[in-house]
Structure 1
Amino acid sequence: MTESAPYPIGTPGRPWGADEKAQWLSRQTRKRSYADDVVRRIDALRDRFDVSEYGALDYAPDRHALYAVRNRHWRDERPLVLVTGGVHGYETSGVHGALQFLEQHAEAYAGRINLLVAPCVSPWAYERIHRWNAYAIDPNRSFRENSPAPESAALLKLVAPNRDRFVLHIDLHETTDTDESEFRPALAARDGVPYEPGEIPDGFYLVGDSEDPQPAFQQAIIDAVAKVTHIAPADAHGEIIGSPVVGPGVINYPLRKLGLCAGITGARLRTTTEVYPDSPQATPAQCNDAQVAAVIAAIDYALADMG
């Protein structure tokens, strides 16, 4: 294997300091509009749902409001469900899948669940099609007390009053070719460690919680998504992104230990979706549909599981 060229910022073997982070930030440019793509669609939901601003990101000169969407007429006896998207702003179908679910399917659960949706947790990164925030921090490794990521801290504060009442949390993500061409090399450079190339799985998969994997729940989602798009196979080592495959299209991580979004509630049913938008076998519409199918299957499983 030939060695890859060094990342254009920093010195190999030396973690970034303030100068390198400033250089990295200077290279980030706005490529799409959170207001046009996301906020406009959220505003269109206001006649059917309760929309609230749960925080804001102030990355001068930009300010982005953070929005949560709830179904109306919450009742304490109903199961509480959390759907999150856009924790990594570049993972487009996570955002648009959450919005599509709200627009087309959420009302079908009226009177059955209390639904809380945060469609775009990281709007600054959404606009720049990036994994990190403006501080070169990955929000999806930062869901912990005293989080250094404002995106993570705001979402933690949103869910805190009901943290132990959630029965389900599904966090919508993608795995893309840029994970290997940009984001993992940048991570290695930032941390001053060697970059070790990995393999991008072709297809949809789930990341469950190794502390409480809930295999039947994960399988129900895989079965539903398989009707929409293909499921990622294991690689030659029986793994997906370096983790053992524990069921078709399913791997497990220690969600809370790693500071991942899917571990922020006390929900027994929790998972992270991963679609592959760069696959020749998938379209952007299929990726959005796969996210929606995953959310529907997860909620239906939770309702059936409660009897």
Structure 2
Amino acid sequence: MNDQAFYPIGTPGQPWGAAERAEWLGRQVKHRSYADDVLSVVDRLRDAFDVVPYGALTYGAEHYPLLAVRSRDWRDDLPVLIVTGGVHGYETSGVHGALQFLEQHGHDYAGRANLLVVPCVSPWGYERIHRWNPDALDPNRNFTKHSPAGESAALVDLLEPLRDIALLHIDLHETTDSDESEFRPALAARDGKPFEPDIVPDGFYLVDDADHPQPAFQQAVIDAVAKVTHIAPADARGEIIGSPLLLPGVIKFPVKQWNLCAGITNARYATTTEVYPDSPRATPQQCNDAQVAAIRSAMDYALAHRNG
């Protein structure tokens, strides 16, 4: 497949303009409710945690409050552990895994660490089950100060005071069949480039920081998640989504260079999870559980090695 003529919007070889973006936006449909699925759960957490508004997004008639959940007993002498989910709104277990962690295990870290959890960075995308925001921008390529993506700019501002003191940042994602059927073809069409198909890995994997790799940390997370769901094998080229393996189930990206979420801070320990919810070997609950296992193992490793 060497062109994107099959994609229903745009002209092959020509980047989208305003008309194509408007046509794309007109095709997006709301499938679920941020208020019902996310805000209602956050409300249940208010007795045990502080809920911090860090901005809001207004798209047309729709208004989305942006909320972070943080430790009530925040202390300056404790390490800071950051969890983000829902950077890509269609990656469901990132959102629900972050909330499940807070409900089931957040109290385990009281007095040991300061937790800051942002369960749904992209609420509009969550409701549309989409990767982009309404401007056809991918938040996870736009985590910069004054970003054109409002979701990204708000999170960067929230984390700015923690940039040099955060110990851990774990960002929760999924890789789905729709990456190949919809999102990568749409990206190619948007940018006027040919679509080059790839293989969707069957299983969980992690993305390390190519500039500051932490292989022992990544291995600890993989070992914990392997007890919950299967780890993605390499393809015939020895790669996962076009990247060579650093370790079994671990690849690496230049996260700061690409303006990815896990690179917002200078946390010593940082990783991006990738769950595969379309596998016949995994249920939705398993996917949530895998995210929780990743969070807990990442936090436990970081705390155990904070002085190492």
Indicate the TM-score class for this superposition, using the shorter chain for normalisation: over 0.9
Query: What corresponds to 2:98 in structure 1?
Result: 98
| Structure 2 counterparts to residues 4-19 of structure 1, below 5 A | 6-19=6-19
C-alpha distance in structure 2 between counterparts of 1:157 and 1:35, whole Å: 23
| In 2, Cα distance between equivalents of 1:82 and 1:164 | 13
Checking the alignment, whether the CA contact within 8 Å between 1:206 and 1:272 is kept in structure 2 is yes
CA contact (8 A) 1:6 1:12 kept: no
Kindly indicate whether the alpha-carbon contact (under 8 Å) linking 1:201 and 1:240 is maintained by their aligned counterparts in 2: yes
What are the residue-to-residue correspondences of 1:1-307 with 2, within 5 Å? 6-306=6-306
User: Kindly tell me: are residues 71 and 14 of structure 1, through their superposed partners in 2, closer, same or farther at Cα, counting changes over 3 Å?
Assistant: same
Deviation digits for residues 237-259 of structure 1 (CA, Å, limit 9, x no counterpart):
01000000110100000000001
Number of aligned residues: 307
Per-residue CA distance 1:31-70 (angstroms, 9 max, x = gap): 0000000000000100110001111111011010000000
1:210-238, Cα deviation, whole Å (9 max, x unpaired): 00110000000000000000000000001
Determine the C-alpha separation between the residues in 1 that align with 2:148 and 2:165. Answer: 26
Could you tell me how far apart the structure 1 residues matched to 2:141 and 2:107 are? 32
Deviation at 1:144, TM superposition (A): 1.5
Cα distance in 1 between the residues matched to 2:193 and 2:45: 45
Give the alignment's Cα RMSD to 1 decimal: 1.0
**CA-CA distance at 1:162 after TM superposition:** 1.6
How far residue 6 of structure 1 moved from its aligned partner, in angstroms, is: 1.9
Offset of 1:145 from its aligned partner?
2.6
2:12 maps to a residue whose letter is P
2:146 partner letter: N
Matches of 1:153 and 1:275, distance apart in 2: 25
Unaligned runs of 5+ in 1: none
Deviation at 1:90, TM superposition (A): 0.2
Identity over aligned pairs, percent: 70
1:161 Cα offset (Å):
1.2
| Preserved CA contact (<8 Å) 2:70 2:115 | yes
Give per-residue Cα distances to partners, 1:254-305, cap 9 Å, x unaligned.
0000010000001010000000000010000000000000000000001110
- Structure 2: runs of 5+ lacking an equivalent: none
**Contact persistence 1:93–1:174 (CA under 8 A):** yes
Q: Which amino acid aligns with 1:120?
A: C
Q: Does the 8 Å contact 1:240/1:251 carry over to 2? A: yes
